[in-house]
Structure 1
Amino acid sequence: MSIQLDIPVLFILFNRPRHARRVFDQIRLVQPLDLYVAIDGPRSDRPDDSKQIAECLALLDGIDWPCQVHRLVRNQNLGCKRAVSTAINWFFNQVEMGIILEDDCLPDVTFFSFCRENLLHHQHNPGVMHITGVNFQHGQWHGDGSYFYSKICHVWGWASWRRAWQHYDVEITTYPEFRRQKLVSTLFSDPKVQQYWTEAFDGVFNGQIDTWDYQWCYAIWIHYGLCICPNQNLISNIGFDQDATHTKTDAESTGNNPLQPLTELRHPQFFIENRQATEYSLNKFFRKVATIRQRMDNITTKTGLKTMKKTFKKHLLP
């Protein structure tokens, strides 16, 4: 970009300064006028956290462009669910639209212009609730534009609007009625996909999964929302390591994917979900957990509960 980015950016940090520095260097290239920085507090049982958090915050000393910096620095650790969801709440309480990057989501520089154009283009289209930067279609190009519409909500580098985020409920309080009416069957026809999402939502609602993103999927789906997905990959997750909260291993080969810069942005002619793309993602990522319900039924010990949590975390959204 030849001029400063006029769309606010939320940069969510924790304890990985090495990854955060690479992401920050990409943010520096577009010089956002407004940068919101949220960082969770140190964990009581991890003495290195305080030092690493301080190193992350020190990155802000490298802001060498005209920029309004807004900070949300936690003194105590809230964990993934609370830290991220409250940071996004804080962000959208102050801005109408914006771009969200976590510390391990490395963007191509054209990711920012892709988000900016679509945020403005779809600003008053309530049917679009989410813009993602990743592409996991493995070379398949969908439709006649630079992006397609899908139910699938990837959160590794994304953008949205206050009008959409207002529907978010971290506790998914309406879920019991959604489950009673078996409404997941109206979203997905494949029983294994239905089972995957039912068990994921069960885990979130019952407090057995410490995450925030399944709830965002739920909010989008119960409000008839669609997501914008690029036909080229604009985000590479660089965080698959033992320091990660959820993505310690990369069984699905979704991390460290090469970036594919956009050379132009063409809007699709029709505002219609690309079901072929949705089905591809569902079949590849969201229909593989078939035995979690039985494992939950057999849990009788604290050790068993920890095992179940690890199983869920392994299958969190890419």
Structure 2
Amino acid sequence: MQEIIESSIDNDLAPVILFIYNRPHHAKKTLAALSQNLLADKSVLYVFADGPKENATDEDLSLIMQAREVVSEKQWCKEVILVAREKNMNLEDNIIDGITSVINKYGKAIMLDDDLISSPYFLQYCNEGLQVYQNNKQIFSINSYMFPIDFETGPETFLCPVATSSTGWATWADRWNLFENSPAYINEIDADSFLQNRFNVGLMNKMYMLKHMHTWDIRWYYTAFIRNGLGVFTTKSLIFNIGFDGSGTHKGGEDLVQELYAEPIPVFYQDSINLKHYSKLLNFVKPDPISLKQKIKNIVKRLINYKSV
């Protein structure tokens, strides 16, 4: 774990952690939006830049250096600390190590990726959420992204069993340090349809991700799931993802309609799940019968092709 320099800023705001690699244009847009946040001029920003892979081309090396140079272009926040990896750690390890290094110094942190445009009130919302729910150990994450769902209410927050998100979020050290790096109950969840239904969230198919992808965010979700954790969500999204252009490590979401809410969303303490909002979220991501039919056709097609080889 690389040693992290502690910021000299003395305030109760959570540090912001940004992860970059080889997308300088995305990183610049993310930093520009972050700099327009209400509390940016009072916040410390840690930027973790992953290093080049062993087989990196000259073009790869150039893009990696350009992304790092973007960080030094302006004073995006009150203080900016760049942690430049000499070698490639891969996406998962860079994120896990980066969060752990910073959050254990400050007790809390706000996380961003290099393809996320934030509302001017993103930092305010995350900091308020961290303060309001800091003593409720059942809350694992303050989440700022939301699908374009009509919740039939004004902008507000709600508690949800989905618990975690990897798209503009915040948490505390005591919850992050519960991180399950090697999930022990994969087989138990996989073997029980009721547990699977509870673990999955519609089209997200989190069980598949847990079994086959082993990404940091599905392990974080699993960490909250086995502890019956909850997450704080907004009815309006304070994050807009510009990474659905095929440039990132993980693909998908190109056809998703997104909205960015540019007004404050206050955080008030709640002690129960909002079942109306939770139901709307589940119905938004429920499996589409047409999509399932197409998936079955694709499986049959692959089997036919396999047998013909």
Q: Deviations over 1:245-266 (max 9, x none)?
A: 1135514x15xx2311234515
Contact 2:71 / 2:82 at 8 angstroms: preserved in 1?
Answer: no
* Matched residue, 1:140: 151
Does the alignment pair 1:213 with 2:217? yes
- In 1, are the aligned partners of 2:142 and 2:170 still within 8 Å (CA)? yes
Distance 2:76 2:118 in 1: 19
In structure 1, the partner of 2:272 is: 272
Distance across 1 between alignment mates of 2:54 and 2:284? 38
| Cα distance in 2 for residues equivalent to 1:221 and 1:34 | 31
Shift of 1:119: 0.6
Change (3 A) 1:28 1:194: closer
Q: Which residue of 2 aligns with 1:310?
A: none
Cα distance in 2, alignment partners of residues 32 and 52 from structure 1: 30
Aligned pair in 2 of structure 1 residues 183, 146: CA closer, same or farther (>3 Å)? same
With the length of structure 1 as denominator, give the TM-score of the two structures. 0.77
* Cα distance between partner residues in 2 of 1:260 and 1:100: 19
Write the distance in 2 (CA, Å) between the matches of 1:141 and 1:32. 35
Query: 1:120-153: CA deviations, max 9, x gaps?
Result: 11111111110111121522146x8721111223
Q: Deviations over 1:104-124 (max 9, x none)?
A: 011001011011111111111
1:236 and 2:246 are equivalent in the alignment: no
| C-alpha distance after superposition, 1:35-63 (max 9, x if no partner) | 11112122334422221121121123234
How far 1:77 sits from its partner (Å)?
Answer: 2.1
Distance 1:176 1:70, change over 3 A: farther
Contact 1:184 1:194 (C-alpha < 8 Å) held by counterparts: no
Rounded Cα–Cα distance in structure 2 between residues aligned with 1:180 and 1:249: 29
CA contact (8 A) 2:189 2:196 kept: no
Partner of 1:281: 281
Contact preservation (8 Å) 2:50, 2:85: yes
Identity within the alignment, %: 22
Of 9, 13, 20 in structure 2, the residue corresponding to residue 6 of structure 1 is: 13
Contact kept? 2:16, 2:112, Cα under 8 Å:
yes
Summarize the Cα distance change of 1:53–1:88 in structure 2 as closer, same or farther, 3 Å threshold.
same
Q: 2: CA distance between counterparts of 1:62 and 1:32?
A: 19
What residue in structure 2 maps to residue 31 of structure 1?
Answer: 41
- Alignment of 1:225 with 2:229, yes or no, is yes
CA RMSD in angstroms, aligned pairs only: 3.4
The equivalent residue for 2:22 is 15
SS of equivalent residue, structure 1 residue 55: helix
In the aligned structure 2, how far is the partner of 1:5 from the partner of 1:55? 32
Q: Distance between the aligned counterparts of 2:209 and 2:44, measured in 1? A: 35
Residues 179-215 of structure 1 show CA distances to partners (whole Å, capped at 9, x for unaligned) of: 5676725836x8x959933333221xxxxx2521111
Question: Residue in 1 aligned with 2:259?
Answer: 258
Secondary structure in 2 matching 1:31: helix
| Alignment partners' CA distance in 2, 1:28 and 1:199 | 37
Letter in 1 for 2:263: L
Q: Deviation at 1:102? A: 0.3
Query: How many Å apart are 1:241 and its aligned residue?
Result: 1.4
Q: 1:117 to 1:18 in 2, by over 3 A?
A: same
More displaced stretch, 37-46 vs 210-219: 37-46
Superposed CA deviations along residues 78-103 of structure 1, whole A, max 9, x for unmatched, are 32222222222222222211110000
Name the amino acid aligned to 2:279.
E
SS at structure 1 position matched to 2:106: coil
Relative to structure 1, the CA distance from residue 16 to residue 221 in structure 2 (aligned partners, 3 Å threshold; closer, same or farther) is: same
TM-score, length basis structure 2: 0.79
> Aligned pair in 2 of structure 1 residues 248, 271: CA closer, same or farther (>3 Å)?
same
Q: Say if 1:261 and 1:89 are closer, same or farther in 2 by CA, change over 3 A.
A: same
The SS at the match of 2:206 is helix
Q: Indicate yes or no: 2:206 matched with 1:197.
A: yes
Q: Which moved more, 1:55-64 or 1:279-288?
A: 279-288
Structure 2 unpaired stretches of 5+: 1-10
Give the Cα–Cα distance (whole angstroms) in 1 for the partners of residues 91 and 122 of structure 2.
24
- Gaps (5+ residues) in structure 1? 204-208, 304-318
- Alignment CA distance shift 1:76-1:173 (3 Å): farther
Counterpart residue type for residue 160 of structure 1:
T
How far 1:25 moved relative to its partner? 1.2
Q: CA deviation at 1:65?
A: 7.2
Aligned residues: 285
Distance 2:181 2:286 in 1: 21
